[in-house]
Amino acid sequence: MDEPLSIREAARFTLVRRSVDDDETLSRAFLNALKLSAETLNVARVGIWRYEEDGTRIRCEMLFDRRTGNAAPGEVIDLLRCPRYAEALRTRRVVMAEDAREDSRTGELTSYLIANDIHALLDCPVFEQGDAIGVVCHEHVGAVRAWTAEDRYFAATVADMLGLYLEQRASARHYQELLDARRELERHRVMESLGRMAANVAHDFNNVLLALQLRTDFMRKDPPQEDRGHVGADLLSIVDQGRRLVRNLLDFANQDQPPTTVIDLANVLRAMRPALSALADDGIDLTMELPDEPVYVRLEQSGAEQIVMNLVKNARDALIGGGHLRLTLTLDVGPNGDDPARPLARLVVADTGVGMDDATREKAFEPFFTTKERGEGDGLGLSTVYSVVTAAGGTVSASSALGEGTTITVLLPRLGGART
């Protein structure tokens, strides 16, 4: 007697739940599906058969015998010797044979059927990403059996769930391979950055040491009194250069901590206007557009100043022979993280300078990457901007074209109308 529909629905639910259990091994998933299917359809044996690479044979990877509770690999069937059965598997969703030995399709398996006392078959192809990769075979022994529509539906569900499970495993493997490749790429980038760092730091400190050595050698020669003042000033300048190098390295190293202070970014930029104007060389037209209302963001004031100073310095250096440099701050709403309409502060620094090609733009935020001559830049400006912005939960991006200029856009999460 057929089981009530509710029991089979519960069995299908169990199968679906198990099929998406990431912790199950492949063999455990197969065994659970075979046991559940054998019990639900009340058949003696259920097997999972996989097509071999050339598609001319199917191999039983696991056969569960409900009578003994054992599961083991089974036989291999040559499909070239049973063409009607092979064609049925390729063209039909379910192959039902109430009397398997008399059915024109499954009758081609007579020797296998007789050897195992099989009288009825219910077989369903398993598909992975649209390709038939195997068959789930339900084998009824002892007598012929009239399969019901419910039997057919359940058997198809088993095959579908196994196919889904295999697709999920394949997707998981592909995703893991992508993660591994990304980690390897990041590792290479880190090593490349560290190599550039070592080279740049060594070069810059060597310059400082060489300058100190030259000035020291000069002082050992007992120069005239009037020259000693100049040498002293030079030494102070050299020491200051070394301090700046160390300070830049420390600033870069300390930017991964999330900020805790809430500031009015618009007010900070207003206070920086004189310093930014002094930073711009002759021939550079600097304009600042700031909103009248407060723009509250969670950011240390020193971090905000680093962002703006580094962006303006880079823009200034790109304006060879002069040009326009525009800094704007606006209140915006847009996607940020999981929130599709999160309040944002949009800071844009745009210049009409030399611009960057795509290869340079893609590396612009990497530590110690610079297109400037040695000694003219340490390659930490934009990477520091990136570190400060991302630590604050924001994003930074660059758009540029050679000969047309560069635009750097910083998006920071904006707080409500009052300090918190």
**C-alpha to C-alpha distance for 14 and 275, rounded to whole angstroms:** 68
pLDDT-based confidence at residue 9 (cuts at 50, 70, 90): low
Contacts of 385 (CB under 8 A, 6+ apart): 306, 307, 310, 311, 365, 396, 408, 410
Q: Give alpha helix (H) positions in 321-395.
A: 358-363, 381-391
Helix (H) or strand (E) holding 411: strand 405-413
- pLDDT for 320 equals 82
pLDDT at 404 over 80: yes
Please write the tens of the pLDDT for every residue from 164-207: 777 776 666 666 777 777 776 666 665 565 555 555 555 555 55
pLDDT-based confidence at residue 383 (cuts at 50, 70, 90): confident
The position carrying tokens 């295999």 is 166
Three-class DSSP category at 61: strand
Looking at 36-50, 139-153, 184-198, 357-371, which range is the least confident one?
184-198
User: How distant, in Å, are the alpha carbons of 60, 277, 279, 299 from that of 274?
Assistant: 80, 5, 9, 21
- The DSSP call for residue 56 is S
Looking at 232-246, 290-304, 324-338, which range is the least confident one?
232-246
Asked if residues 154 and 41 have their Cβ atoms less than 8 Å apart, the reply is yes
pLDDT at 99 over 90: yes
Asked if residues 136 and 37 have their Cβ atoms less than 8 Å apart, the reply is yes
How many H helices and E strands in the chain?
Answer: 10, 14
User: Cα 249 to the chain's mean position, in Å?
Assistant: 29
Asked if residues 46 and 64 have their Cβ atoms less than 8 Å apart, the reply is yes
Q: What share of the chain is helix, strand, coil (3-state, %, to 5)?
A: 50, 25, 25
Please write the tens of the pLDDT for every residue from 318-360: 888 788 999 999 998 776 545 556 889 999 999 998 888 888 8
pLDDT-based confidence at residue 261 (cuts at 50, 70, 90): confident
Looking at 67-71, 238-242, 332-336, 382-386, which range is the least confident one?
238-242
- Residue ranges and CATH numbers for the domains of the chain are 5-175 (3.30.450.40), 254-420 (3.30.565.10)
pLDDT-based confidence at residue 291 (cuts at 50, 70, 90): very high
First CA to last CA distance, the chain = 69
Helix (H) or strand (E) holding 85: helix 83-91
pLDDT-based confidence at residue 4 (cuts at 50, 70, 90): very low
Contacts of 52 (CB under 8 A, 6+ apart): 58, 59, 76
Query: Taking Cα atoms as reference points, which of 155, 417, 165 lies closest to residue 266?
Result: 417
pLDDT at 251 over 60: no
Strand order in the sheet with 405-413: 284-289, 323-336, 339-351, 405-413, 395-401
One DSSP character per residue, 228-288 reads HHHHHHHHHHHHHHHHHHHHHHHHHHT--SPP--EEEHHHHHHHHHHHHHHHSPTTEEEEE
Residue bearing the bigger pLDDT, 174 or 118: 118
Give the pLDDT mean for 306-327: 87
**C-alpha to C-alpha distance for 138 and 33, rounded to whole angstroms:** 12
- pLDDT for 178 equals 73
Residue bearing the bigger pLDDT, 88 or 15: 88
Query: Taking Cα atoms as reference points, which of 359, 372, 356, 369 lies closest to residue 408?
Result: 356
Asked if residues 286 and 277 have their Cβ atoms less than 8 Å apart, the reply is yes
* Beta strand 323-336 pairing with 284-289: parallel
**C-alpha to C-alpha distance for 346 and 395, rounded to whole angstroms:** 10
Provide the greatest CA pair distance for the chain.
119
**C-alpha to C-alpha distance for 24 and 18, rounded to whole angstroms:** 8
